[in-house]
Amino acid sequence: MTDSNTDQKNLAKASDHLANERTFLAWIRTAIAAMGFGFVVVKFSLFVKQLSLVFTDKPIVSTSKGYSGAIGISLVCLGALIAVLSFLRYKRIEKSLKNNEFYPSSRLIVILMLAILFGGFFLVLYLVPNI
């Protein structure tokens, strides 16, 4: 017969590992969303160029260089970076949980927040002249 205190510790340990997996999967969903959005941005730019050829028989001539391709590729790269960083974070926390010495860290959250902040800032700079 097992001790109920041991059962509670094992249950808490399993719960911590499952929470770590759920957090990892949430980061992976974020990475996939960023990559998907980047893909859509690039493909939409190509779609608009093709649409202009269909209706006008000549490509859209713009006085400013379009940056949607670079923005889309940057979003795909950001998504891949998020996936790698989230995996490293998952493994670090898994090791800490196994050793019963968990120390919380918000480094990945700060990196992602800064990337989104700078991305938003540059998107605003890109969009303001078009208003």
- The per-residue pLDDT for 90 is 94
Contact by Cβ (8 Å): 31, 83: yes
d(CA 6, CA 1): 11
- The per-residue pLDDT for 35 is 94
Contact by Cβ (8 Å): 83, 38: no
d(CA 76, CA 32): 9
The per-residue pLDDT string of the chain (131 residues; one tens digit each, 9 = 90 and over) reads: 456 666 666 666 888 899 999 999 999 999 999 999 999 988 887 777 777 777 776 665 554 566 778 888 988 998 999 999 899 999 999 998 888 887 777 877 787 788 889 878 887 887 787 76
Where do the domains of the chain lie? Answer: 4-130
CA distance to 15, 26, 118, per residue, from 20 (Å): 9, 10, 28
Contact by Cβ (8 Å): 60, 49: yes
- The per-residue pLDDT for 88 is 92
Torsion of CA 27, 72, 128, 118, to 10 degrees: 40
Contact by Cβ (8 Å): 108, 85: yes
Contact by Cβ (8 Å): 73, 38: yes
